[in-house]
Amino acid sequence: MKNRMVLMLTLAAIVFVGCVNEKEDKSPVDGGVADVAYISLQVKTEKNEARSSGENAGMNESDLKTLYLITFDETEKVVGIPKTTEYYTKIENAASKPDAIKISAASEKLLVIANPGDKLLDVIENINDRTTFSTINAAVKEVTMAEITDKVDAIAKGFTMINSGNESGKQAGDKITDPLISLVGKIQVVSKDLKEENAIEEAEKEGNRVDVKIERLASKVELKLKGDNNDNVVVEPTGATFTFKNWTLDVVNSTFYPFAEKTLLTVIHSSGGSYVSNFYTKDPNFTDATGIVNASVNQTTYEPELVAPYSWMAAANGIYCIENTMNDNAQIFENATRVVIKGIYYPENHVGTGDWFSFAGKTYANFDDLKAAYNASDAGPNLKAACEAMYSSIRSYADKHSDVNLSGTSFKTLETSDLAQVKNGGEVLKNGKTPVIQWYQEGLCYYYYEIRHDNDTDEHMAFGKYGVVRNNWYKLTLGLVKGPGTPWFPDIDNPGPGDPDPDDPIDTSTGYLGITVEVAPWIIWENEIDI
């Protein structure tokens, strides 16, 4: 299931230097790649100037801990480093002045990977003279979510980053299919006319450095309340009340490729910086139908079991996820990364405490009102059947939990004290798509919002409309609550009455959240959402 919000990192000019690990060995790289050449890099990661408003305290989300450089020939086959057994160069401990880096004179293209996790690093360390860029990209498919999200409160290893690709000269609809950087005209080859010390000196000149733009593979999602205060969230209808509790991320991707094909969209990117156009990546996992995970509900405790490492969070916390994108005709509920919001909602003219109930569009302020409607002479058969089904569900729950002792033996004899023994009452009553009494226990409601990447388009199910994209930061602001949500967690594998089916197009749903989305650098997408 995939709908994702993407965060975008703009690259702040950082020049790297480094301790270059080149292990001299008795069995050097040989053949036609043995000629020595040098290059010097200038790596840009464009730090976010609005750091205080969104980046996690105590950490720099643009930190470059370790860089790995891999060069390729014109056929995109890896080229080794002359007079060593290495097929990559490692740079760490960035300093103030960039050193020249030894490469093969046969090198024509460059890949830079920053801060790889253990599995991606394992791929890098197993490169050999038969490796191509496509095999490196595909080999990382088994890398897990933790590789690029890590702990959301302590990114010790830094975010995994990779070349962002060359956007220059391209227009809306054009694709970036290759992230590799051309080295043509930048290599200083050691020869009888250019001694090694002179090649190093030439490589380190300002105009000869290779400019590298890199971007995070992760996306970032943040949810806050309008004005950071419940009083600034509009609640409908007039007289109804809503209290925000917390939120989580659901339906997320768990695997990634270092590079995914980009399509440039029609709008200018809101962040500016290194990006000119808004873009949408093509997630290879979607074709393979792998990598998408979602929360579910435990059928004994009726508690939602969230996707690790996500938990219920307060506003305005930000979290990281792997990009999750899809074609326009695949933008359905089971595919889109989404935010799930938990809140307390009471209808208009309600006292604002305790349980309330709903059936067939009619609300009941408390259990006594629901029982009175059941006992009324004009109660319809549907209401009576739904109330009797409510008792059956509660009876079944009591049978599973030895500490629940019901005093009633039918709906007519149920008491409020019986209901108080049931946890997650809304979930307990759900029975697939069958209409049921909606039990808002202590006013508890769930809402969901599929993240929109291109918030400027109103075209139905347009390409790039929904999804989270790498290096984009989705700042969601809850501004409007249009009514009650559902009393059960929105489990896409087990929808309740009124819930969309997993394969329904997202755009056919009636929204009940008002959310504003902004995407910037990172890239921030700000959306105000209505629920």
pLDDT at 54: 42
Strand-pairing partners, residue 318, are 222
Output phi, psi for 402, to 5 deg: -65, -20
pLDDT at 415: 94
- DSSP annotation of 500: P
Ranges in the chain annotated CATH 2.60.40.2580: 13-215
> What CATH number does the domain located at 356-443 have?
1.10.20.150
166 dihedral zone (left: phi>0; alpha: psi -120 to 50; beta): beta
Q: How confident is the model at residue 379 (pLDDT cuts 50, 70, 90)?
A: confident
- Specify the pLDDT at position 21: 35
Q: For residues 350 and 448, is the Cβ–Cβ distance under 8 A?
A: no
- Residue 163: what pLDDT? 86
CA distances from 503 to 277, 286, 334, 455, 496 (A): 31, 14, 6, 22, 14
Please say whether the dihedral angle defined by the alpha carbons of residues 114, 120, 121 and 125, taken in this order, is positive or negative. Answer: negative
* pLDDT higher than 50, residue 466: yes
Per-residue confidence (pLDDT) for residue 522, from 0 to 100: 61
Q: What is the pLDDT of residue 243?
A: 94
Q: Is the peptide bond before 316 cis (omega within 30 degrees of 0)?
A: yes
Pick the CATH number of 220-347+448-530 from 3.40.30.10, 1.10.287.130, 2.60.40.3690, 1.10.150.120: 2.60.40.3690
CATH 2.60.40.3690: which residues of the chain? 220-347+448-530
3-state DSSP helix/strand/coil % of the chain, to nearest 5: 20, 30, 50
pLDDT tens digit sequence for 55-104 = 444 456 777 778 899 999 999 999 999 988 999 999 876 444 558 889 99
- pLDDT tens-digit profile of 175-233? 998 889 888 888 899 988 899 999 888 888 878 888 888 888 888 899 999 876 666 89
- Judged against a pLDDT cut of 50, whether residue 4 lies above it is answered with no
* pLDDT value at 348 more than 50: yes
More confident residue, 385 or 143: 385
Mean pLDDT of 340-363: 96
How high is the pLDDT of residue 390?
98
Higher-pLDDT residue of 398 and 526 is 398
54/207 Cα distance (integer angstroms):
35
For the ranges 22-31, 170-179, 371-380, the lowest mean pLDDT is seen at: 22-31
Highest mean pLDDT among 115-124, 214-223, 397-406: 397-406
pLDDT at 150 over 80: no
pLDDT in tens, 258-317: 888 899 988 766 555 567 778 899 887 777 667 788 999 999 999 999 998 889 999 877
pLDDT band at 26; cut points 50, 70, 90: very low
Average pLDDT, the chain: 81
Query: Using one digit for the tens of pLDDT, what is the confidence trace for 33-44?
Result: 458 988 887 776
The top-level CATH class assigned to 13-215 is mainly beta
From residue 465, alpha-carbon distances to 21, 484, 513 in Å are 44, 26, 17
Cα Rg of the chain, angstroms: 28
Given a cut of 50, whether residue 12 has pLDDT beyond it is: no
Instruction: Return the ∠ at Cα 366 (arms to 350 and 239), rounded to 5°.
Output: 15
- The per-residue pLDDT for range 154-164, each reduced to its tens digit, is 456 677 888 88
Mean pLDDT for 431-439 is 97
What's the pLDDT at 424?
Answer: 96
| CATH 1.10.20.150 domain position(s) in the chain | 356-443
Confidence of residue 18 (pLDDT cuts 50, 70, 90): very low
pLDDT score for 229? 60
Among residues 416, 409, 369, 372, the alpha carbon closest in space to that of 388 is found at 409
pLDDT tops 80 at residue 47: no
- Please say if the pLDDT value at position 14 is more than 90: no
Q: What pLDDT does 230 receive? A: 60
Q: How many residues does the chain have?
A: 531
pTM of the entire structure?
Answer: 0.85
Mean of the pLDDT values across residues 230-250? Answer: 91
Give the Cα separation of 2 and 281 in Å (integer): 13
Please give the pLDDT value at position 482. Answer: 93
* Rounded-to-10 torsion of CA 369, 370, 376, 380: 150
- Yes or no: say if 492 and 426 are a contact pair by the CB < 8 Å rule: no
Cα 13 to Cα 242: distance, rounded to the nearest angstrom: 45
Residue type, 402: S
- Say what the pLDDT of residue 20 is: 31
pLDDT at 257 over 50: yes
Q: What is the arithmetic mean of pLDDT over 497-505?
A: 91
